[in-house]
Amino acid sequence: MSMRLATGHEVVPMSEEWMAEKPETRQIYHRGMVRIMPEGWLYPATAPHFLNKIQDFKFRAEDVLVVTFPKSGTTWMQEIAWTMLHNPDLDNPNAHESLLVRSPDISQEMTHDGKMIPKDQLEMFNKKLETLRPGSRVEDGVVMQLLEIMPGPRVIKSHYPITLFPPNLLDTTKVVYVARNPKDTVVSFYHFCRVIKVFNYQGSFDNFVEEFMNDGLTFGPYWPHLADAWRRRDHPNLLIVFYEDLQADIMAELHKINKFLGTNLTQKQLENVAQQTAFSTMKSRGEPMEKGAFNKDLLKSSGGYIRKGVMGDWRNHMSPELNQEMDQWIQRHTAELGLSFKWDS
């Protein structure tokens, strides 16, 4: 039996038979999974509750919403936007705080239903919310309630696509969408799902890629997510940034972001931002997530949460046959969208 979101999207529960086909990617949430139609977003069954809550969330004109498909450069862009807005002179005493605190993830709420979520992590969220906002109900969304009392300008993260936000979002708030080529995206997503306990993925890389291309992974499908932003690319409150362009010429991209955000930073301040958000600098500061969220042994062997930050790592993972299959899949969709990607440095 289906229901509808406040946005009009249809919510279709996934069958037990479907989830049993690939238990390593599908049976990871206590309440099962749903698809949000017509695009087919695949989320935990708790998602509709929080997606409806988002429709009443008060976005501000000073907010910056960073929207991405997972593992597309989200953490990098969050740090860039936050540093531009709050730490261009590298003297903000809060810069050492976790990015989870400085730039909360509004799409995080639904993943708390994961079977591998440690109980102490949920208790930590409960205590934090009760301390800052006594009498609050965790069921109404920890992150959303913490964001409500957070001073601006807020840098908010989301893996939800723009279409699931209030219809007037872009008339109110600036959105930076980061896109990354799908081959490097799926490699990074694979390693992420192996080391993060909520996913605890133990299958093969080839099977993971097949699920990625067949829209069987949480937060997918990839192409509708990208297309949702791409068709809005001319809106003055939306900036689409490609991960590969950030790598190729960070200063050129920082100038574009500076102009879009209206931060009016000097060249020296932009150089500060580049320094503060360089891959080596961010990796040296440690993981941006709670330590209890990781499988520590796998995290160490795979290179960490901030793992490589390079273009072309897909060449180290894909067989010629799998690469050819992905190429056909990519060519079909890029032709429809009218865009192209960079594949190597």
**Domains of the chain, first to last:** 60-337 (3.40.50.300)
In our burial notation (b when 16+ CB lie closer than 10 A, e otherwise), range 162-199 reads bbbbbeebbebbbbbbbbbbbbbbbbbbbbbbbbbbbb
Which residue do the tokens 């509708």 mark?
224
Residues 80 and 88: their CA atoms lie apart, in Å, by: 10
Nearest in space to 108 (alpha carbons), one of 121, 120, 97: 121
Radius of gyration of the chain (CA): 19
> Are residues 219 and 72 in contact, defined by beta-carbon separation less than 8 angstroms?
no
Closest CA to 67 of 169, 150, 188: 169
- Say which amino acid occupies 224: P
**Tens digit of each residue's pLDDT, the chain (345 residues):** 569 999 999 999 999 999 898 888 888 888 999 999 999 999 999 999 999 999 999 999 999 999 999 999 999 999 999 999 999 999 999 998 888 889 999 998 898 888 776 666 666 667 777 777 888 777 778 888 889 988 999 999 999 999 999 999 999 999 999 999 999 999 999 998 988 867 778 889 999 999 999 999 999 999 999 999 999 999 999 999 999 999 999 999 999 999 999 999 999 999 999 999 998 888 776 655 545 455 555 555 454 545 466 777 888 888 999 999 999 999 999 999 999 998 776
Q: How far apart (Å, rounded) are the C-alpha atoms in residues 279 and 309?
A: 7
- Count of alpha carbons within 13 Å of 320, Cβ hemisphere only? 0
